[in-house]
Structure 1
């Protein structure tokens, strides 16, 4: 042991990568992740709408809960828009590459 650092033997390191999974499976996993993210955005938007409507109707809803739900919906929507923008930028960058 040198200076508090324990040397690692290469024999103890597993060199197995997740290359056995076909591209279709990986694409499916990515698609599922995107679908789940979009469902979460939709769920927060619907929850915010429901709470705002309840407050407008005079139901027993706390104002701070309505504001928190609205902010959550706003943040999830802005995050989704930024992810979309980054994906478009990445696609455009790939398309600009010369072969």
Structure 2
């Protein structure tokens, strides 16, 4: 059983498995850490989209490429984009909830 797809999803989720900022970290360090995780995740989504595009173009040009490889790459790109959008939606929802809080 090929687990390459599962491993790539696991690697994408690993940056989110943090234990939170250490007691000695400053807000600036926490912000930099979050921004680097966000940037890396967006780059991973973009990379999967580009890989899917390349394979689709090869198939359209009639190059020797299996259809199932193209479909798998397309589904990986779709799933990573959907997952990213769901995380974005939850972050926006949490932000809106915090803004509704009365101090």
TM-score (norm 1): 0.82
Q: Which runs of 5+ in 1 are unaligned?
A: 1-16
1:62 aligns with 2:66: yes
1:77 aligns with 2:77: no
Give the deviation of 1:38 after TM superposition.
0.3
Q: Select 1:94's aligned residue among 73, 98, 103.
A: 98
| Runs of 4+ deviating beyond 6 Å | none
Greater helix share, structure number: 2
Give the deviation of 1:54 after TM superposition.
0.2
How many residues end up aligned between the 2 structures?
83
Give the deviation of 1:18 after TM superposition.
1.6
State the alpha-carbon separation in 1 of the partners of residues 83 and 22 from structure 2.
Answer: 29
Q: Select 1:27's aligned residue among 7, 14, 31.
A: 31
